[in-house]
Amino acid sequence: MPIYEYQRVDPKKECSRCRGPFEILQQATDKPLKRCPECDAPVKKIISRCFGLVVETPEAVKQTEKKIREYERAGMWSHAAELADTQAEKTKDKTLKSRALEDYRKAGHPVDSLTQE
């Protein structure tokens, strides 16, 4: 159910609820409020600022991720580690760097020497 914001119309009439903008949980099909549910003062619906975030992964990153998974499924740990490590360096992705280190470990490489900076 969406949350709608309302604000009083007359600044002289207010209660604790409509003193400032307030939110109401309503069905999308419900009619907008005309009055404050507590003091019956006239209110109007206001436009809310939406703080949504959509993160899209570039196609090249998706393809690299897919190739790393293929290598891992095939047990080609060195190949997966090398690709993940290269991508982690480019993107500064610490999660991908950890994955590369884990793949290096599975391939039998001395991970301790790789983690020292």
Asked if residue 25 is part of any domain, the answer here is: yes
Which pLDDT score, from 0 to 100, does residue 21 have? 85
Domain that holds residue 10: 1-47
- Rounded CA-CA distance 49/8 in Å is 18
User: Are 33 and 72 in the same domain?
Assistant: no
Residues 6+ apart with CB under 8 A from 20: 7
φ and ψ of 46, to 5 deg: -120, 160
User: Are 7 and 31 in the same domain?
Assistant: yes
Instruction: Express each pLDDT in 18-74 by its tens digit.
Output: 888 888 888 878 888 999 888 888 999 887 666 666 666 788 888 999 999 999 999
Nearest CA-CA partner of 90 in 50, 60, 45: 60
pTM of the full structure: 0.50
Which pLDDT score, from 0 to 100, does residue 98 have? 92
Dump the DSSP string for 29-71.
Answer: TSPPPSB-TTT--BEEEEPPPP--------HHHHHHHHHHHHH
Q: Which residue has the higher pLDDT, 91 or 56?
A: 91
Q: Which two tokens stand for residue 9?
A: 């119309």
User: Are 79 and 104 in the same domain?
Assistant: yes
Asked if residue 115 is part of any domain, the answer here is: no
Per the structure, the count of domains in the chain is: 2
Residues 6+ apart with CB under 8 A from 19: 8
* % of the chain with per-residue pLDDT over 70: 86
Q: If you count them, how many residues does the chain have?
A: 117
Which pLDDT score, from 0 to 100, does residue 50 have? 62
Which pLDDT score, from 0 to 100, does residue 67 have? 95
Across the chain, mean pLDDT equals 84
**C-alpha R_g of the chain:** 27
Taking 60 as the threshold, does the pLDDT of residue 116 lie above it?
A: no
User: Are 33 and 73 in the same domain?
Assistant: no
User: Are 63 and 36 in the same domain?
Assistant: no
Neighbours of 87 (CB within 10 A): 20
